[in-house]
A and B are shown apart, each in its own frame.
Chain A
Amino acid sequence: MSITSTEDTAERLARLEQTIEHLLAEAKRLGASAAEASVGSSAGLEVGVRLGEVETVEHTRDNGLGITVYFGNRRGSSSTTDLSPDSLRAAVKAACAIAVHTQEDPCAHLADAALMAHGMLDLDLYHPWPIGVEEAIAIAAECEDAARAFDPRIVNSEGASLSAHSGLQVYGNSHGFVGGYPSTRHGLSCAVIGEEGDTMQRDYWWTSARAAADLEPARLVGERAAQRTVARLGGRQLGTCKAPVLFRAEVATGLVRSLVSAISGGSLYRRASFLLDHLGERLFPEFMRIHEEPHLPRGLSSAPFDSDGVATWAKDLVSEGVLRTYVLDAYSGCRLKLPTTGNGGGVRNLVVAMGERDRAGLLALMGTGLFVTELMGHGVNAVTGDYSRGAAGFWVENGEIAYPVEEITIAGNLKSMYAGLVAVGNDCDFPGSTRTGSWLIDEMTIAGQ
């Protein structure tokens, strides 16, 4: 990976901003009444180590641009990986050719000019990691070694991999708004295989951060991967029953994602959501709060403005258990006759308010039930909220883990699962842009033997 100094970054940002201006000018020349464009450029290094040997060394380098043109309320878009001047002109022309055939859509326009972000917030997202291939290999190897040495039942490995990425993203539109910033993202992950009798289990762990210094130590990542793998050995099925279910913190993020998807403008205006017309209604018990923090320094999905150029702001999605806002961009907001919430491109860093209990406390509160540590498959119906997924984890008796379980499903309906939330723990222990502890749900149907 090339090591770039700050001066280089400023120059490259300026060049991408110029590219945006060329694109917008070309759109205007071809008769578009408005246009918006984004350009990105990134580079990175990824190394993989397996069984102590280097397996892959990948040098990544990606460029891309996308442009949307508007002719009144008709639009067309195009994208390309080729940033040469000829290609830029061709892309604008292609977008205009598309707009000939699209139809008048009253909501097809740029976001309100008054909402554009101004004064670029520095969210501390750029921490290049000038790591060499040899050093990257050494860190990945240390991680995998720690996993393999953790327990004699760890007999095989899918390896450990380290990645270091840096990139620039610039967006602009014909309101005169142009904004861009550099960002970095680095990570380390490890997956190992345990064996007991004639069955094998695999599990993994990972760390991810904007700055290398914020990554979990390699040894800990490896040990955690091994610990999780070994804990799954000897898993058995359960009989079909109804029981309370504790979703381990990193698995509970899926329940947050389903909520966000159901309150997103695109799902709502297509009537493809089980939470239509629920704004202002109580979805969760009163203790529940979900807060969006788009300006979190070094946050994994922090951004000063959204994909419409609209300034982002912190807000509660849920407080006192009540749904306080939908998640809207300019287009879906217009469709729902509501203002944008600055969520073009999605939500940015969600924090679920932590409860009082740690994991042991949650297990004790559950008493007897299922502790889910992995979910499989796509069995979530966004239109009805019906939920049925493959699961693995542990059966819990009297607040203590009794034995690992696998090859079971858990089923319910998201609306009643949200309403039946008993507690959120304070045991957030994984990286990611959604911060939450484990979730205890009062009752679900478990299918097994």
Chain B
Amino acid sequence: MNDPIAIARNSILVPAGLDDHHLDRLLGLLAGSHLDAADIYFQKSRLQSWVLEDGIIKDGNFSIEQGVGIRAVSGEKTGFAYSDELEYPALAQAAEAARAIARAGSEKRVRIGHVQAQRRLYEPIDPLESLPDEDKVDLLRRVDAEARRQDPRIKEVSASVVAVQDTVLVLGDDGTLAADVRPLVRLNVSVIAEDQGRREQGGSGGGARTDLGWFLVEDRAMEFAREAVRLALTNLEAEPAPAGSMTVVLGPGWPGVLLHEAIGHGLEGDFNRKGTSAFAGRVGERVAAPGVTVVDDGTLPGRRGSLNMDDEGTTTQSTVLIEDGILRGYMQDKLNARLMGVKSTGNGRRESYAHLPMPRMTNTYMLAGTRDPREIIASVPRGLYAVNFGGGQVDITSGKFVFSTSEAYLIEDGKIGRPVKGATLIGNGPDVLTRVSMIGNDLALDTGVGTCGKEGQSVPVGVGQPTLRIDSLTVGGTGSE
């Protein structure tokens, strides 16, 4: 069985005794004459995780979350109720609570819509069953051995592997009937290196919307282990980072978290409809240097941030945010698109049935330029080369954003020099990209580790970029020069 709608019906609706007649009635309850939109979101999420610590498989967990979220929208007002009970009376009660947002209208007959043709960016598989449990724990043991084998200074290794199957079914009073079965796998390695009383941590990992076999090909899992070790050992040598404003070269791939924080959040439709973003009302204006093109693309096959459809049933797309330095558009969900008089861009996402959807990023990245990355480094007399980052954060109203390095080096006379300790970089979203002076030809996406938080909701995302030279950015170290 390979059809998402059929999988969703069989795994969520059938066990709760729900049929099309019930769904019609629920939509009818919601579709009172004073509502602009209503939808019902069924979800069943299965997760299995394994943890290795101290060389042994220490823990494992299996969890199931399921429920339904019912939303009724009238103008800018949203009524929302959710239930983890799926029997019809509980659903009808939730629908009544949600629709109380609007003045009572007469019940309307609404029929559930027709299934729309589906794209396949990933297969509707069950990644939990994609490897025998013995092989999952064996994979972690091999990761542990690989990390320890690299260097005697590695004192602690922890590793985890997680597989999730998320099945969603969306019904809307606009005729939406859509389902998606979303696999997601993730492997993480974290090590502690110790030398002469000094201790440093290194971490690596990756993931994708596929099965667990993904970690076994191209030696991926072992590569993550070696990368975690390399980072920890590099940081053992690191000196305090410099403090002050300087030229910063960002490496390719994960440093694209810059784009996510500096401009991505500020271009989400809700903040712009409300006029609370530093980017509000600036479509058509220059917000980046010529040559800078940034997209949000939910359609990359198998990527962690990709979705066949968003959580409102809208097919995802590639949306141009900045084109050759000019701000082109925002990311939208249905509510904000309707209120702004545009179409949803397929960015309506929610953490789960217990949360309301809002505009969220998918995979956000900058297109490649033409410069050889070596040429970019060589162009900098003195600056910082930052290649790995921890998390970031942005204040979308003031536009100020930060992100913290986990691997960085000084650039001295055009050459990569000594490693420096984690430093937070801070800048202003609407102007940081105007200071991009060189764009590399080495576009890379991250390894599939990103999780984005907004208003208490977490969703998986991707980022990417080529090597970039930014002429001036504030670096928050403790070192003098």
A105 to chain B, nearest CB (A): 6
Which interface class (under 10, 10 to 19, 20 to 34, 35 or more) fits B? Answer: 35 or more
Whether B397 lies near A201 (C-beta < 8 A) is yes
- B137 contacts across to A, CB distance below 8 A: 101-102
Smallest CB-CB separation from B158: which chain A residue? A270
From residue 341 to 398 of chain A, which have CB atoms closer than 8 A to chain B?
Answer: 376-379, 381-384, 386, 388-390, 392
Bound form: Cα–Cα A53–B78 in Å:
11
Whether B133 lies near A101 (C-beta < 8 A) is yes
Q: Does A258 contact B (CB under 8 A)?
A: no
Would you call the interface of chain B mostly helix, strand, loop, or mixed?
strand
Q: Does B381 contact A (CB under 8 A)?
A: no
A168 to chain B, nearest CB (A): 15
Would you call the interface of chain A mostly helix, strand, loop, or mixed?
strand
Q: Does A281 contact B (CB under 8 A)?
A: no
- A105 contacts across to B, CB distance below 8 A: 56, 58
Whether B393 lies near A158 (C-beta < 8 A) is no
Q: Does B201 contact A (CB under 8 A)?
A: yes
Q: Say whether, besides A56-B78, A270-B192, A102 and B57 are in contact (CB < 8 Å).
A: yes
Smallest CB-CB separation from A444: which chain B residue? B478
Bound form: Cα–Cα A413–B50 in Å:
34
Whether B101 lies near A57 (C-beta < 8 A) is yes
- B278 contacts across to A, CB distance below 8 A: 200
Q: Say whether, besides A388-B478, A408-B474, A445-B477, A56 and B398 are in contact (CB < 8 Å).
A: no
Whether A376 lies near B199 (C-beta < 8 A) is no
Smallest CB-CB separation from B64: which chain A residue? A80
Output the residue of A133, A407, A411 with the most chain B CB within 10 A.
A411
Whether A240 lies near B245 (C-beta < 8 A) is yes
Smallest CB-CB separation from B141: which chain A residue? A103
Whether A407 lies near B60 (C-beta < 8 A) is no
Whether A61 lies near B82 (C-beta < 8 A) is yes
- A377 contacts across to B, CB distance below 8 A: 391-393, 402-404, 424, 426
Output the residue of B76, B134, B393, B478 with the most chain A CB within 10 A.
B478
Whether A413 lies near B53 (C-beta < 8 A) is no
From residue 434 to 449 of chain A, which have CB atoms closer than 8 A to chain B?
Answer: 445-449
Q: Does A298 contact B (CB under 8 A)?
A: no
- B97 contacts across to A, CB distance below 8 A: 59
From residue 92 to 128 of chain A, which have CB atoms closer than 8 A to chain B?
Answer: 94-95, 97-105, 108
Bound form: Cα–Cα A200–B84 in Å:
41
Whether B63 lies near A79 (C-beta < 8 A) is yes
Q: Which of A28-36, A70-78, A176-184, A215-223 contacts B (4 or more CB under 8 A)?
A: A70-78
A138 to chain B, nearest CB (A): 16
Q: Does B156 contact A (CB under 8 A)?
A: yes
Q: Does B366 contact A (CB under 8 A)?
A: no
Q: Does A250 contact B (CB under 8 A)?
A: no
Whether A58 lies near B80 (C-beta < 8 A) is yes
- A75 contacts across to B, CB distance below 8 A: 59
Query: Using an 8 Å CB-CB cutoff, how does the interface string of A311-347 with B read, 1 for contact, 0 for none?
Result: 0000000000000000000000000000000000000
Whether A79 lies near B94 (C-beta < 8 A) is no
Which interface class (under 10, 10 to 19, 20 to 34, 35 or more) fits A? Answer: 35 or more
Whether A193 lies near B397 (C-beta < 8 A) is yes
Query: CB within 8 A of B63: which of A80, A271, A378?
Result: A80
Q: Does B448 contact A (CB under 8 A)?
A: no
Query: CB within 8 A of B77: which of A56, A60, A79, A101?
Result: A56
Whether B426 lies near A408 (C-beta < 8 A) is yes
Query: CB within 8 A of A388: which of B76, B80, B476?
Result: B476
Bound form: Cα–Cα A429–B276 in Å:
28
Whether B397 lies near A77 (C-beta < 8 A) is no
From residue 177 to 203 of chain B, which have CB atoms closer than 8 A to chain A?
Answer: 192, 194, 199-201
Q: Does B293 contact A (CB under 8 A)?
A: no
From residue 18 to 37 of chain B, which have CB atoms closer than 8 A to chain A?
Answer: none
Query: Using an 8 Å CB-CB cutoff, how does the interface string of B80-104 with A read, 1 for contact, 0 for none?
Result: 1111100000000010011011000
- A165 contacts across to B, CB distance below 8 A: none
Q: Does A151 contact B (CB under 8 A)?
A: no
Residue ranges of B at the interface with A (Cβ–Cβ < 8 Å): 50, 53, 56-67, 76-84, 94, 97-98, 100-101, 133-134, 136-137, 155-156, 158, 192, 194, 199-201, 241, 243-245, 274-276, 278, 354, 356, 390-393, 395, 397-398, 400-404, 421-424, 426-428, 474-478
Residue ranges of A at the interface with B (Cβ–Cβ < 8 Å): 50, 53-63, 75-82, 87, 90-91, 94-95, 97-105, 108, 133, 156, 158, 193, 199-202, 232, 235, 237, 240, 270-272, 276, 376-379, 381-384, 386, 388-390, 392, 406-413, 445-449
Q: A193-B397, A379-B390 are in contact. List 11 more A-B contacts (CB 8 A).
A: A50-B76, A59-B82, A79-B63, A105-B56, A388-B478, A392-B400, A406-B400, A409-B426, A410-B476, A446-B243, A448-B474
